Amino acid sequence: MARIIFITGASRGFGKLWAEAFLKAGDKVAASARNITALDDLVEKYGSSILPISLDVNKKNEVTQAVAKVKEHFGAIDILINNAGFGLFGTVEETSEEQARAQMETNFFGLLWVTQAVLPVMRAQKSGHIIQVSSFLGITTLPLLGLYNASKFAVEGLSETIASEVAHLGIKFTLIEPNGFATEWAGNSAVQTTAEIADYNPVREAFASSGENPETWGKPEATVDVILKVANSANPPQRLLLGKIAYHTVKEVYTKRLAEIDEWKEVSIAAHGH
């Protein structure tokens, strides 16, 4: 039986790739984007199985209307994939207030508005699966991506909390945590800070050189079978790292964190007071 998939940020990258994967699998897809002409090829190929929706996730009223449209058109929302977002590059000191707020508005608040709008539909159904596209930078950090890191850390905390609140209602949650992939995330979908402080040039140079190895970047096409496996699972993971860089980096980070926690164990326990 065809499922109803709602994907945000579907004009390019993971969003478009995954939208077509679900359509190929026989599901019906509501695909949102700021510019829905980017979805014309999928409409031509899959006809009424896809519903393009013009949506700016930063605008809560638009989000509410979009979710209502999906529900009215398809009758349900079985899977939500919150994929809309962008990367902001620059040191924290160089980041303007406007840039910082814009990063959080899309990556965190946009995701929040969509999740809040879809939850009533899934509660009424007593079923659903919400897949939040986070990042391995929601668990660890890289320099020059401070506000992006912060937005994804926020997504992680928010999603883990909601998962604990709705589990008894039959609603599943999965956080997808990719490393860098060869999409347009670091290209057309990225924003560079404008004011560069010379003291940070060594950090910039080290960051640039780390991305020169093509092995650093995952192949987007390799994620298609993965996202379908997650969506088809009766017991999906709450967190799933995508890519070998993410796996090895996060494993090392957690190993070091646990070692430090144990090293300071007595101090931590003493701080409780009794």
Query: Which one is catalytic: 16, 28, 152, 172?
Result: 152
Query: Which one is catalytic: 11, 134, 135, 159?
Result: 134
Cβ atoms < 10 Å from Cβ of 259: 9
DSSP strand pairing (28-33 vs 4-7)? parallel
C-alpha closest to that of 185 among 213, 153, 218: 218
Query: Which one is catalytic: 148, 151, 159, 172?
Result: 148
Given strand 128-133, what is the order of strands in its sheet? 50-54, 28-33, 4-7, 79-82, 128-133, 171-178, 239-242
C-alpha closest to that of 181 among 148, 217, 212: 217
Cβ atoms < 10 Å from Cβ of 32: 30
Query: How far is C-alpha 36 from the chain's CA centre?
Result: 20
User: Whats the size of the chain, residue-wise?
Assistant: 274
C-alpha closest to that of 152 among 107, 100, 191, 95: 107
**Does the annotation mark 247 as catalytic?**
no
Q: Which two tokens stand for residue 253?
A: 């980070």
**Does the annotation mark 254 as catalytic?**
no
**Does the annotation mark 151 as catalytic?**
no
Question: Catalytic positions, please?
Answer: 134, 148, 152
